[in-house]
Amino acid sequence: MRLALLMFDVVFLFFLFLVGVSCLVYYLPPQPPRTPSYLIVAADPRPPGPPTHHPDAAAAAPVEDV
């Protein structure tokens, strides 16, 4: 008898969980549709130029102790 009541409680709590999640999802605002990544066009269609030297690269170099 105790096992039957325990199983009933587990099933009943799972049902309440599903009802709660369903209500939560129903009342959330809709998400805007996503644009697939293959449809996104770069702002500048030209290929990138050669790499440039960053002015802070020398400052980030390790300093040797004299």
Q: How far apart are CA 21 and CA 15, in angstroms?
A: 10
Cα dihedral sign for 38, 39, 43, 46?
positive
In a domain? residue 57: no
- How many folded domains does the chain comprise? 1
User: What is the token pair recorded at 9?
Assistant: 């409680």
In a domain? residue 11: yes
Residue 28 pLDDT: 86
In a domain? residue 13: yes
pLDDT in tens, 9-50: 999 999 999 999 999 999 888 888 877 777 666 665 666 667
Q: What's the chain's length in residues?
A: 66
In three-state form (DSSP H/G/I as H, E/B as E, the rest C), the secondary structure along 9-60 is: HHHHHHHHHHHHHHHHHHHCCCCCCCCCHHHCCCCCCCCCCCCCCCCCCCCC
Look up the pTM and report it: 0.43
